[in-house]
Structure 1
Amino acid sequence: MTGHDTDTERTFAALPPAQGRGFARTWWGKAWLRALEDAALDSGQVKTGRRLARAGAVGAVSVRAGRITAVVLDRDRTAHRADVLLAELSAEQWDRFLDLAVERSGYVAALLDREMPTHLVEDAASAGIDLLPGLGDLEPECDCGAWDHCGHTAALCYQMARLVDQDPFVLLLMRGRGEQSVLDALQARTAAPAEEAPAPEGVDAAEAYAAGDILPPLPAPPVPPHPPGLPPALDTEVPPAPGVDPAALRHLAARTAVEAQRLLTEALRPHSDQHAAAGAELTAAQDAVRLAVDAPDEAVTGRLAEGSGRDPHSLALATRAWELGGAAALAVLEEEWAPDEEGEIHARARADLHSAWDEDERPTLRAVGNRWTVADAPVQIRLGRDGRWWPYRREQGRWVPAGPAALDPATALASAGSA
């Protein structure tokens, strides 16, 4: 993504179009966009900028202290140089900010993990240091002659939100110091002077507990290799006993290995995830679908279809859903339920869809229960009982699972191919 880097300037190559997704997903990226959207006098120019940025009209973005610059193309391919200015922090403000950042080790760890801790921003604001831009702080300059934000500077701000989302050090560079300068200053503050007595070993329990909400999570445990491997050969050159189907037995052994691996993976998850993953025992119909994944031949598949109360076509759809998300995905395929259409889930979903597309590009959806279908397109999203959205496409007269679940409906629609 980065084309040229120094500690005083970073240049980011042009990003691909942002179809079917919001420009900012983190809280600090959204705060950046609010500084633009709440202060712009012409909302039409903001919408134009959003369309240009979504279409990939913003070229390489240069970020340096107090300024970002890019060339933005109009719809007629006319190029304009756009600049957005943001006031730098003073030397005194930087000193106060760095002193705050080293007070808790979690702040530095979060920054290194490309996260912007909310408590750090709040502590800095209390000390008179504004890290994030506020109303009117993003000053536009464009060779098109506009005196307020035009479509070109708005497009640059939307593109910048994506960069700030990925790396908060980009924001700190705009405020006056590059990543290496910040890290060197933090290291100098944490290094104990030689004449000082060594710090006591260990960490104060009260301080560690108070910092628990800002410390980065522990790294995930290693995931067992996939696939788990094949069972040993069962060919003993001895005829099978009456009623024993060797093909079915081989398949059952292979699926048992897969299930054992799944249970091991869940056991290695953090405890909060284990509880979320643990659920009721599978029904016979659900377990038949699990066993039907990668079934070796039609005879085994036929027996599993009969045992699950499905025909072969329905079993094929069920196994496709199972491969995408297990029992939760199977339930979304086969269950239709009615969430509260005036409740929080529907309101949040409509807000996500509203912000992901411009008004003239936004797909029209018809909601029936937990299933939202795009008008005049073979695309549907379905809401699971766990709050996730699943993409579907209509193929040969059937709704077919089109991909894994997403936390928001706009991402699910994009993965289904509607954007």
Structure 2
Amino acid sequence: MATPHRDTVLRRTFAALPPRPDSPEDRGFAETWWGNAWVDALEQGALDVKRLVRGRGYADQGHVDAITVTPGQVLAYVRGSRPRPYRVQVRLRTLEDADWEQFLDAAADRPGHIAALLDKELPQSLADCGVPLLPGPRDLAPQCSCPDSGHPCKHAAALCYQTARLLDADPFVLLLLRGRGEKGLLDALSRRSAARAARAAQEGAPRSLPGVRAADALAPRRLPPLPSPLPVPPHPEQPPVYPAAPGGPDPFALDQLATDAAARAHALLATGRDPVGELTLWQDAVRLAAARPGSGLTATTRSLYATLAAATDRTPADLARAVAAWRQGGPEGLAVLEEPWDPPAGRFDRARPLLLAADLPAFRPWRNRLTHPGGHVQLRLGRDGLWYAYESEPGQDDWWPRGTPDLDPVGALTGLGTPDDL
């Protein structure tokens, strides 16, 4: 059983967890909402509360040995009152391919979902995407080699409680139980992100300029005046794909340097100033990460996010949120994310009547922020006079930039839903 060296992408073995310190009886066994959802499925489907209490005691005392997780099954040996431990397994139905496609689409839909998964968090909105990730009261099917026919017996209950601790530390354990390993899921999300970025680049590609034959251009003739300079392109182009060669430079490093040089050259051409000269280390790290297309889930961009986050003493999730703010409004968007301030009377005071006139509820003011009474939508006034929209899970202080800034607070909420949704 305890053979971590035999682990594969679809088999993970975890060493026996240590005993838990004493805790109040009314405190939940798990630390996360998804861990407690697992415990709720166990306890609501149990037929005997006394067996649950004994099983929880076994888990608290560390009676569960190494746990092996594979698609559809958790397996471990549990020490009971006899010298020989019992072999316990808990089965859970794996998801169909169509369910996984729906889950991957929902995860790739928001960069916040991806960043949370990389930080070993499971957003509740992702778990509520219509795919039955978490088990229900009758979904856990325990089996034990002991003579007790209870559902579950105390040994199976102990294994279920310890599994909740594994889920607390890594929600990918739950995804593996449902049939997919961490590497396969991240690779699938990377492909989705790359495909979306490629489609966006193709749809936004500029049309080619008309050409002139070389023979006509070199023929002796009186040339007309030179045409006016072309307008500044709307955005810098993407560099070519650099091949990897033994002993040669890192193709990703070349790509990153070329992308950054193109962005800086475009800004210098359009504004006459280098946008990097006055940035702080953190702002420059966010700028570099934001220059990468997509949501940062390819292997190379995951490495970039991790490197930049470590260099600035932040987490990849902090960087992903800051990148979203930067893409929303550049340095001013990042300042709106991180720096609350006290605006003077005027534009801020006129915002609430405008929202009420648009059939929206009374937003709660705090400094430069107006928060929906439902706690899921927020408007922030930037020092540039624009309103920036933010969204969060209801009841949680986890705000992510959404939409496009606007001088009108009602206009900034465009795309976040109808007035009835807000």
Name the TM-score, length of structure 1 as normaliser. Answer: 0.46
Name the TM-score, length of structure 2 as normaliser. Answer: 0.46
Q: Larger RCO: Structure 1 or Structure 2 (Cα < 8 Å, ≥ 6 residues apart)?
A: 1
